Structure 1
């Protein structure tokens, strides 16, 4: 709590410096005292430390009420989409904070305000916002822009430059495919004790055949279920290639995949020591930008920590689309409820938290940790000496699964489907089945489970 209070005070002081000389009295829509109800995922104190305090300095005539959605996530068996829609209908917030799935759904249902007329009216500059984000939001909004996100998450390929130099391996480059990454990983030694040896590739808790195949498939946009036909599409050449590549990589010993499954609980030090890349024992890993913050924390927490030079390149990519990424997600997406009585004040809030001044203030607070990347590109330049430009290099691939498509999949399906996958892949690991045989069985038995789940859900809905 004390650390949060200090950070909050520092942000307010920084805001005072950046906004010095700016008067909010003349800001459009805030000359008279007005109120603004904002829906946020967490408690009021956290919202104000992140956004509210800074906004109130610029707009002292706007009274903010925060309504937290935490109360709707208490029942395990409820429909969260319906619960959220009911919550919004009951609380009537002016500004809503949404996930990408909620954004697409509510936009399609006409529940969000189109921001384009407001952007044009105020000549609001969105030119320095990462174009990929605007493109995704418009695509999910059927060509219209219904929301803006101050920050986002993106993945990249991290590498340990010291290990590459030590073993004489050429360092990674932008646009590497999973085949490239695994081929490079194989150039590192596979000998030594599991707890101390070097790995060519490794993430936090290790990668099984399934998790690596899923990562490869995700990069290539492969889907387990075709939601148009409600058919499982796992027994295809593309999925077979993804699983074969993953199996060969894991079998080669170059992938960090500890027998105990990795971190099973303990102290923060135990967690850090279980991370192969974090501890300098893995040459490469794919991760989010906040991995840099974890590296910095480990350096400051572990007395015997040995720092190493970190490199980052754009990727991995689908070989069919080498300039694009399917792994760009939003941290917190703000939109305006279509029937809000306080549209001007709500729009001022969206403009502010997505604006250059706010981005500048937030960039100066990164000394305590990099949680996400600023949507305003010029304000996420580097962290702890590492350049962050790489996270803005790739364009979005917009052919990924739609949240509206995912809603078609019964919520109970995966709980029944996963045991089939686990059983079949165990037989593959034990060399009792081939990849082709296992995927064929998973598809056949999984389809039976899916058909049953679809039928049961339809019956349940008809009885409501």
Structure 2
């Protein structure tokens, strides 16, 4: 009887070993061995290894990764498109780090490798990406996917629940237009009659944009307005849309419902003592990364906060003006290390990486379901709105110098309107002319156009 039992045990044990061996073989076929050297385009080597490289190396030790740093790639006078192509031709990276504009342009020029065969071969789970991100990749890629973004950037309207309760004002709601938000802001405080100690603002912006021109741009971006036609290289600021945005912005600051901060006042102390963090502002429009500061400051002061979606264009309430994929990682079509490159970018945007990043990322993750709340606060407001895939605002051809110069021009014009030195129409006519001169000068400095 014991011999029979031993024989049965031996047969069962052998069967189990065969199953384990089969499972091991199956695992190897799913996880193909990959080796080689791959070069990735990234701003800093140290930040790459901190964000992705060390984790990737522990999982794929046979793949060696080198970083081609881009921290000194662009200067404000550069023609960005030309500079990028020259850099790619010289450095020959296997993986390119691209903006949305770069991605669309280089995909159309055949510089990027079509990823769909690799996605299909590996059964890579694209379904867990946000649908609007997948749609964006396909629309900008002419119907195909040429890159993957691990994360994206978005803003939300944070609000102080205690201040709303104290003033008997109903909380803001998702998908409000800018007119609604500014009308809500005017319901707080008593204007200039209040003492500095008791002063409460209805709305605050990030310090560097807390001015009429900063708010004008916020409203304009929500409405998909651009100050330049990138196809004709003509400044187009003198339009009804931009004038309406400026009118709303000027009225908001005139009502004293937003604190105006001059650039010369920009100090570390101003950043640390922002009105919203101090409990002196009912609402603030801020990027996702600000949420950690809000949560910490409100806990210390025993205040309650919540958030809703950023203000939208009432004509297109499903879309957010601030949504942007920070970096899209694509494979150079000329790469000799496609498998290793694909292994790296697929890992950077994987479910596994999303799970690791879900509690520490300062950007929002492109994959659904990993960043859902922070200390009991739902993050749904950051994920509720969609990318406007038909947005034609383009920055790639326009030197950074122009945006810096023109911001100063527009700021000066709105200051003169505030001081009753110019009418709004005069301000925009002058801004149009001076802006075109600034654009022509910036393009000439970058080699893109002869200065007039």
Q: TM-score range by the shorter chain?
A: 0.7 to 0.9
In structure 2, the gaps of 5 or more residues are 1-22
Match of 2:168 in 1: 168
Structure-1 residue corresponding to 2:383: 392
1:202 aligns with 2:204: yes
Deviation at 1:104, TM superposition (A): 2.4
Match of 1:434 among 414, 419, 423: 423
Question: 1:280 aligns to what?
Answer: 279
Counterpart of 2:5?
none
1:376 corresponds in structure 2 to: 367
Aligned residue in 2 for 1:147? 147
Other-structure match for 2:301: 306
Return the offset for 1:284: 0.9
Rg larger in structure:
2
Q: 1:187-214 CA deviation, whole Å, 9 max, x = no partner?
A: 1113423465110000232622211111
Question: Are the structure 2 counterparts of residues 24 and 85 from structure 1 closer, same or farther at C-alpha, using a change threshold of 3 Å?
Answer: farther
Tell me the CA shift for residue 434 of structure 1: 2.2
> How many residues matched?
426
Structure-2 residue corresponding to 1:344: 339
String of CA shifts for 1:353-408, please: whole Å, max 9, x gaps.
21111211222x42xxx4011111100011132111221111212333343xx444
Match of 1:70, SS state, is coil
What are the Cα deviations for residues 407-430 of structure 1, in whole angstroms up to 9, with x where unaligned? 444665446544543442222111
Alignment CA distance shift 1:449-1:378 (3 Å): closer
Assess if the C-alpha contact under 8 Å between 2:79 and 2:398 holds in 1: no
TM-score (norm 1): 0.83
* Cα drift, residue 317 of structure 1: 0.6
Contact 1:99 1:332 survives alignment (8 Å): yes
Q: 1:294 Cα shift?
A: 1.8
User: What is the Cα deviation at residue 250 of structure 1?
Assistant: 0.8
Tell me the SS of whatever aligns to 1:63.
strand
Are residues 409 and 37 of structure 1, via their aligned partners in 2, closer, same or farther at CA, if it must alter by over 3 Å? Answer: closer
Cα distance in structure 2, aligned partners of 1:42 and 1:65: 11
| CA distance in structure 1 between the aligned counterparts of 2:443 and 2:72, rounded to whole angstroms | 29
What's the secondary structure of 1:324's corresponding residue?
A: coil
Q: Contact (CA 8 Å) 2:371, 2:379: kept in 1 or not?
A: yes
Distance 1:32 1:209 in 2: 54
Residue matched to 1:294? 293
- For 2:27 and 2:328, locate their aligned partners in 1 and report how far apart those are by CA, in whole Å: 27
Greater displacement, 285-294 / 203-212? 203-212
* Secondary structure in structure 2 of the residue aligned to 1:156: strand
Q: Structure 1 residues 350 and 459 mapped into 2: Cα distance closer, same or farther (>3 Å)?
A: closer
**Residues of 2 paired with 1:26 and 1:263: CA distance?**
60
How far does residue 263 in structure 1 lie from its aligned partner after superposition?
5.2
Residues 67-106 of structure 1: matches in 2 within 5 Å? 67-73=68-74, 77-106=77-106
Contact 1:157 1:286 in 2 (8 A): yes
Contact 1:23 1:58 in 2 (8 A): no
Distance 2:354 2:429 in 1: 50
Which secondary structure state, in structure 2, belongs to the residue aligned with residue 290 of structure 1? helix
Q: Which SS does the other structure have where 1:200 is aligned?
A: coil
The residue number in structure 1 matching 2:259 is 256
Contact 1:203–1:276 (Cα < 8 Å) also in 2: no
Distance across 2 between alignment mates of 1:27 and 1:97: 30
Distance 2:416 2:306 in 1: 38
The residue correspondences of 1:15-26 to structure 2 (distance < 5 A) are 26=28
Question: TM-score normalized by structure 2?
Answer: 0.85
Secondary structure at 2:48's aligned position in 1? Answer: helix
- In the alignment, the residues of structure 2 paired with residue 27 and residue 71 of structure 1 have an alpha-carbon distance, to the nearest angstrom, of 42
CA displacement at 1:96 relative to structure 2: 2.0
Change in 2 beyond 3 A, CA 1:66/1:391:
same
Does the CA-based 8 Å contact 1:149-1:375 persist in structure 2? Answer: yes
Per-residue deviation, 1:109: 2.0
SS in 2 for 1:391: helix
- Superposition CA RMSD, Å: 2.9
| Alpha-carbon distance in 2 for matches of 1:349, 1:237 | 47
Deviation at 1:26, TM superposition (A): 2.1
Give the deviation of 1:186 after TM superposition.
1.0
Q: In 1, distance between residues paired with 2:138 and 2:252? A: 38
Residue 246 of structure 1 is aligned with which of 237, 246, 249?
A: 249
Alignment-derived partner of residue 7 in structure 1: none
